[in-house]
């Protein structure tokens, strides 16, 4: 590490060796797991130990209540993602993992707002 305010030049090999190597390529992982306590903790811990930052995380039940689906997005090199995927497969409660390609995904966002409105302006607010 250099002095504060100075730039340090790293080689590509050094960057790849760092666990937090960001590529700009967002990976969306869909992980089918057994619906049991502690599964999410073990998965998040694996990513933390490998130096990955989870950008988004969603967990929900499937049609079969014995299973849940974890969908998460993270940034990383393909090689590093493959290594993490292999590590995830070793976890007992993980059943299936897919690295979804951008052309096979649909992203949606939802925002909830709480607005104070009296009876006269309520209809106007609802039209927005």
- Structural domains in the chain, sorted by start: 12-126 (3.30.70.260)
State pLDDT tens for residues 9-45: 666 666 555 544 455 678 999 999 999 999 999 999 9
State pLDDT tens for residues 46-103: 999 988 889 999 999 999 999 999 999 998 777 788 899 999 999 999 999 999 987 8
d(CA 21, CA 119): 53
Strands 26-34 and 67-75, sheet pairing: antiparallel
Report field, pTM of the whole predicted structure over 0.85 = no
Q: Which of 74, 77, 70 is nearest to 91 (CA)?
A: 70
d(CA 37, CA 59): 13
């Amino acid at each position: 590490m250099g002095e504060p305010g100075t730039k340090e030049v790293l080689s590509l090999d050094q960057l790849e060796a760092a666990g937090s190597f960001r590529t700009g390529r967002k990976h969306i992982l869909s992980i089918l797991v057994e619906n049991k306590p502690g599964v999410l903790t073990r998965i998040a811990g694996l990513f933390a130990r490998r130096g990955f930052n989870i950008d988004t995380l969603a967990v929900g039940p499937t049609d079969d209540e014995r299973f849940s689906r974890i969908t998460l997005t993270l940034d990383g090199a393909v090689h590093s993602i493959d290594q993490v995927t292999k590590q995830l497969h070793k976890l007992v409660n993980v059943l299936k993992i897919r690295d979804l390609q951008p052309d096979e995904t649909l992203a949606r966002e939802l925002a909830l707002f709480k607005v104070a409105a009296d009876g006269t302006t309520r209809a106007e607010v609802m039209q927005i």
